[in-house]
Structure formats: C-alpha cells, structure tokens
Structure 1
Amino acid sequence: MAVRSAPYVTSALVFVLTCSSQQHRAQAAPPPPSLGLQTAVFAGGCFWSTEKAFDGVPGVRSAVSGFIGGHTPRPSYNQVVRGGTGHREAVQVTFDPRVVSYRALVDRYWRTIDPTDRHGQFCDQGPSYRTAVYATPAQKSAADASRLAATRALPRRVFITPVLANARFWPAGSEHQDFARRNPARYEAYRIGCRRTARLTAVWGSAAVG
C-alpha cells in the first residue's frame, strides 16, 4: 500500500492511500470463460475501484484486477507504475450475456471514470492509470456506439478515453483481488482521500457510479 502526504484526515493521521504498490508479479492469464460466458476489459484508473464498480452487477460472474496493453510478460505492480512496460491497470469482467449485455457494461463503465482526464484518474496519475475500453473485434461496434453516446452526454467537455483493440490481460496478485470487499476501511480511506465521488459527481451528476 503506497502512502503519501495529502489533506485527507482521519483521527490524528493525515494521508492519502494510493492504489497499492505491492511487488508481487502478475499471475498467469485465466482460463477462457465457461461456455456461454463472455469477458470485457476496462482500464479505469486504480483497479480496486473498477473492480468494485462491477462486482455485484446482475449477470457479472467475476471481476479480476490486472494489467493490459503492455509488452512485459507477467509484470509486477512496481514495474507497471514505474513506467516502460506499456501496461495499464485494468479489470477483466466475466459476464453472462443472457443477463447483462456487453453494451450495458460499457455504458456503466463511463460513469465510473472521469473520461476527460488524459493523465490518469483522481489522485492516481501516470501512464498506468490512463483509461480505455479494450474491445474484441466482435465488441468494437457496441463499444464505439456506447462511447459516442457518452460523449454526447458531456457536450461541453473534451472526451479523452479511447476504445482500443483487446490485448493480453495479466491478472494481478491475490492481494489486489476483491480489495474493497476484503479491506473496506483502507478502500474507503483511499476513495475519500482521492475525492473520487466528488469528481465523478462533478462530471456525471446523479448518473455517477462509485
């Protein structure tokens, strides 16, 4: 867990928790989803928050934190955040399309990020925290249509977040998985300290998620 000075106060402590700096290497890529299930990959800044935004959505079977888009195999967290690997923090969502559509998941994703920030998200800034939808060829038209609808919902803002071609996804270590559920106090300190909710509300109003 990385800790740095900032104006978030809890009791006598003054700190902001940034997305974890554990050094464990990424796990091997997960097996393909069971018959009938599909996957979607979203880079949304700190993967703790992106994972939390999709956990519990009807039709979502799992949300796995990891890294995507880079050229270093099995990257560690520290390698990614130092830069040079090309990876972004991302979440691979496995879902049942008979319950929830891919388009509905992409529509939800936009409301979990600030798509006008080209450098990262909230207090997590740098290449590994840049946002993107990673779409397969079969998913691209739905992702593009969702992005167009989201840009029209923010007509006075410069919409940065792209739709990119899907790439190799590397799951992060077990200490990163289900972080918000397993460490609710630490996650809440991070969320409040980074002013995540306030910024999302400023961008999306009542449609904000997270």
Structure 2
Amino acid sequence: MKKATFAGGCFWCMVSPFDEQPGIQRVVSGYTGGNTEDPTYESVCTNSTGHLEAVQITYDPEVYPYEKLLELFWAQIDPTDPGGQFHDRGESYQTAVFYHDEEQKKLAEQSRDALEKSGRFKKPIVTEIRPASVFFEAEAFHQDYYKKNPFHYKLYRKGSGREDFLNAHWGGDKS
C-alpha cells in the first residue's frame, strides 16, 4: 500500500470521489503543509497555521495507480484559482499535490503540465506540487462527512459552486 495526499479545497468534497474506487483502502480528511503542531479546524481556518485542508489516501498502486488518482484529483478542483476553491476562500482552501516520493513528484508534474497544455482552462494552472509533510487527521466530525450528513453535504457541494464548475469543465459529476 502507498499514500497519496491531495489538497482540493474543502476536504468534505475530496473524500467521496476517491472513497469507493477499487484499490482504495482508506481516505482520511486532515491538515498538512503547515508550520504548527496539532492544528484544529478552527486554527486552520484562521489561515495563520500554513496548513491546507487535504485528504490522505491509502491505496494499492497495482489496482489503482497513482496516475489515475491524479486524473481524479484534477477533475475535483479549479486548478486555476490561487485564492481557494469556489466559495471557500483563503490559504487553507488552496489546492496542492503533496508527493511522497520522486516518482509521485514526476507523475504529478507531468499530469499538471499535460492539463496546462490541454487548453481545458483559459487561465494558468496554479496548483502547487509540494513535498509531503506531517499529515494531521481532522476531527472525527469531518471524517466521512458525505456519508454521515448526506443531505447537508449535497447542499454544500451544490451551494459552494463546486458541482456546477465541475459539470461545466469536466462534463458530469465525478463524485
């Protein structure tokens, strides 16, 4: 098993697309990339800890290769928005790929470059590719939110603008 870590704005919306794919063992919501120990949701939302909301995925690369994880990641975000994602604004909602080894770094850079060249977006891709750092698991309330609170999750996903953006740019719901 290997790990993949992606920041795609609100972590609630980043769990469901990966959660039930073949070869995915676990998807955890959390915080990474920052400079404080044991961040909480409240502290991360102040945009003073340096952490991004992220998901860490434990997966079997023989069943679901990293390249496929990257494809699915890109189809969940607006990679051209440096200020957050959709209605969620601020540093904690920025997008990033956190690589765990040099192979992941290379594949992430290749996938970003291919997306840039595809012409799918009129603005440049700003999603960073950064080395993985300590990942702090989010509070229990945030884990599997889409399963525990499906009605609120669907309202949030639609109301945030994410769903409409993904449908317009990626052609259909990829969650």
TM-score calculated relative to the size of structure 2: 0.94
Equivalent-residue separation in structure 2 for 1:162 and 1:209 (angstroms): 22
Q: Is the 8 A contact 1:48 1:180 kept in 2?
A: yes
Q: Is the 8 A contact 1:107 1:150 kept in 2?
A: no
Contact 1:63 1:91 in 2 (8 A): yes
Cα offset, 1:195, TM superposition:
2.1
Match 2:135 to one of 148, 155, 169: 169
Structure 1 residues 188 and 155: CA distance shift in structure 2, 3 A: closer
Partner of 1:44: 8
1:155 positional shift: 5.5
Aligned to 1:202: 168
SS across alignment from 1:133: strand
In the alignment, which of 114, 121, 137 is matched to residue 78 of structure 2? 114
Could you tell me whether the CA contact under 8 Å between 1:71 and 1:86 is conserved in 2? Answer: yes
Conserved 8 A contact 1:44-1:129: yes
Correspondence 1:136-147 to 2 at 5 A? 136-138=100-102, 139-147=104-112
Structure 1: how far apart are the matches of 2:101 and 2:57? 17
| Gapped regions of structure 1 (runs ≥ 5) | 1-36
Paired with 2:122 and 2:149, the residues of 1 have a C-alpha distance of 37
Which structure is larger by alpha-carbon Rg, 1 or 2?
1
Deviations 1:173-193 (A, max 9, x none): 111100001110110110111
Q: Is the 8 A contact 1:44 1:112 kept in 2?
A: yes
3-state secondary structure, aligned to 1:181: helix
2:134 corresponds to 1:191? no
Deviations 1:84-137 (Å, cap 9, x if unpaired)? Answer: 100000000000011011111011100010101110111111100000000023
How many residues are aligned here? 173
The residue number in structure 2 matching 1:89 is: 53
Percent identity, aligned pairs only? Answer: 42
Output the CA distance in 1 between the equivalents of 2:13 and 2:168: 18
Letter in 1 for 2:116: T
| Contact in 2 for aligned 1:120/1:130 (Cα 8 Å) | yes
Identify which range, 138-147 or 107-116, moves more after superposition: 138-147
